[in-house]
Homo-oligomer: A and B are copies of this chain.
Amino acid sequence: MKLIHQLSKETGIPIPTLRFYEKSGLISGRRKTGVSTNNYQFYEQGAIDKLNFVQMAKAVGFTLNEIKEVVDLWYKKEITQKAQFEVLDKRLLQIDEKIAELNAMKKQIKICKENIENRNS
């Protein structure tokens, strides 16, 4: 049960960005039951898990919408198993494509390095 400040500290994501993510539907807190004097939102471990995933996915070029599709079914039972697997399997394919592209880039950069070595020797 963390407030936004602590969530920010634990994930390294600035508070305004977390608010933006909340508004975008990526994470959501809830008010403490029985407290009506404020509107402070409390977050659980699940929010941290989601945010860690968001950071990884962003780093490899997924859009927030693509990430949201996965994160949305993190704890959901409403949609069918088939529909859930469709989303997840699509992402797994994208991931493998990205890994292949990264390996192709490595190859390309290594060729580039060899060219530099050869013409400077």
Contact = CB atoms under 8 A, between A and B. Distances in A.
Given A61-B58, A116-B84, A105 B109 contact: no
A11 B95 CA distance: 22
Contacts of A84: 113, 116
Give chain A's interface secondary structure class.
helix
A3 interface: no
Interface in A84-121: 84-85, 88, 91-92, 95, 97-99, 101-106, 108-110, 112-113, 116-117, 119-120
A110 to B, nearest CB: 8
Interface in A52-93: 53, 56-62, 70, 73-74, 77, 81, 84-85, 88, 91-92
Contacts of A73: 112, 116
A108 B95 CA distance: 12
Number of copies of this kind of chain in the complex: 2
Given A61-B59, A81-B120, A102 B95 contact: yes
A24 to B, nearest CB: 18
B61 A116 contact: no
A106 B116 contact: no
Contacts of A95: 102, 105-106, 109
